[in-house]
A and B are shown apart, each in its own frame.
Chain A
């Protein structure tokens, strides 16, 4: 198992994405707290797809670099895109209602984070976590 995915179409798919990534992390040897962190990040990304892009995909992949092992989550959609990325990555912006972790939260939960978004085309977020 090096690569799996879940299509996000309805709210239950968020649960499927969580389940998939938690199992994936567990198998790679992540501890229970890191499993919870990865799952929370996936949950957030899947929920963003469900709420703002209607549909998209969550991919989880095993990665290796310089002898380290980890996983990467790719969240991809063809939704409206994010106009102001700086704002979306700002603390307190997406969480001002006190809900959710927002993209800064995802970034904090994981080790590496990158985002590409184009208005009218969609968004690709890649985020990785390494086994310590």
Chain B
């Protein structure tokens, strides 16, 4: 028995019962049948017609005015039927688009992916989670020809696909600039600034922190292009200070220069880098205070760097009911020996 036939049979049964007794149970059966009807893509005008013919069969003496009145209902339902079909086709299209985005996001993950390096002198943890499907944040680790560890964290102002596409370009520029030992942090930012200014349309700006860690002296030299300031944790004094660095965002002025800063790390000291997705976490009482991040850092201090960033991400996304509004990136580097 095909569905049309079984539908006719079930409909007749339901209508017969309901004409006899108007019970909730029959209405419940009707609701179940309506789901089957939808699953089988039966348009509403067909249901009206079914009702009309079944009614005529069950009550042969039904006034012709009543039967004719269904023509009006049928005409009205034509538009609903079309809207329903259109909805289905748009939903299918949406699924296709989502799949394409998913491919794009995976491709981006592959392109931007930077392994988190392991050293016996430095405990490193890093996390970068996009707010939507594509990530406009980026972090990068590399070793130059002098064995210095290069670290970069960047944030495209803007979200979604344009930001993500832009980030892919930045990644390749950073890759090619990072390997040379002659490129100290301020030089890298100056060159990137010219690349961004030349290649990216007005309206897209990038903030970046770039550092170079010398494993022999345990000194990190860094420069920042308008990036959210990180923290320096001094273990001896058990204190956090902002990693101050001044510099214009990338892509605004091709002639800008960046000052270089440096900090020495003692054993147990930490460098904490973040994107504004971390500090702009929205709590129920407004924006998160930087002090709250320090509280969280203190809370998880006893864990490894990777566990700290994972836990902080978990806590902050929980505050936002697991719907983060901006890409979230955080890096922790702690001197071990």
Residues of A within 8 A of B (CB): 31-33, 36-37, 40, 91-92, 95, 101, 104-105, 108-109
Contact with A along B65-97 (1 / 0, CB 8 A): 000000000110011001101100110010000
The answer for the CA separation of A37 and B48 in the assembled complex, in Å, is: 13
Q: Is the CB of A33 within 8 A of B82?
A: no
Majority secondary structure of chain A interface residues (helix, strand, loop or mixed):
helix
A37-B78 in contact (CB<8A): yes
Cβ contact within 8 Å between B90 and A36: no
How many angstroms from the CA of A64 to the CA of B304 in the assembled complex?
A: 79
Whether a CB of chain A sits under 8 angstroms from the CB of B49 is yes
Which residues of A have CB within 8 Å of B79?
A: 40, 101
Instruction: List chain B residues, Cβ under 8 A from A37.
Output: 45, 78
Cα-based distance from A10 to B112 in the complex (angstroms): 61
Q: Is the CB of A36 within 8 A of B86?
A: no
CB atoms of A91 and B82 under 8 A apart = no
Contact across chains for A91 and B89 when beta carbons are under 8 A apart: yes
**Is A108 in contact with B82, judged by CB distance below 8 angstroms?**
yes
Q: Does B242 contact A (CB under 8 A)?
A: no
Interface residue total, chain B, C-beta cutoff 8 A: 15
A40→B83 CA distance, assembly (Å): 13
Beta-carbon contact of B78 and A32 below 8 Å: no
Residues of A within 8 A of B93 (CB): 91
Query: Judging by beta carbons under 8 Å apart, are B86 and A105 in contact?
Result: yes
Which B residues lie at the A interface, using CB under 8 A?
45-46, 49, 52, 74-75, 78-79, 82-83, 85-86, 89-90, 93
Pairwise interchain contact B82-A105, C-beta atoms closer than 8 A? yes
Q: A91-B90, A92-B90, A101-B79 are in contact. Are A36 and B85 (CB under 8 A)?
A: no
Residues of B within 8 A of A109 (CB): 82
- Please judge, given known A-B contacts A91-B90, A101-B79, whether A33 and B74 are in contact too, CB under 8 Å: yes
Q: In chain B, what residue has the closest Cβ to A105?
A: B82
Q: Which of B46, B52, B78, B86 contacts A40 (CB 8 A)?
A: B78
Q: Say which residue of A31, A36, A91, A92 sits within 8 Å of B75 (CB atoms).
A: A36
A95-B74 in contact (CB<8A): no
Give the interface centre of B45, B46, B75, B82 by most chain A CB atoms within 10 Å.
B82
Determine how close the nearest CB of chain B comes to the CB of A92; give it in whole angstroms: 6
Pair B45/A92 contact, Cβ less than 8 Å: no
Seed contacts A33-B46, A36-B74; 6 additional CB < 8 Å A-B pairs: A32-B49, A33-B45, A37-B45, A91-B86, A104-B86, A105-B85
**CB within 8 A of B85: which of A31, A32, A108?**
A108
Contacts of B52 in A (CB 8 A): 32
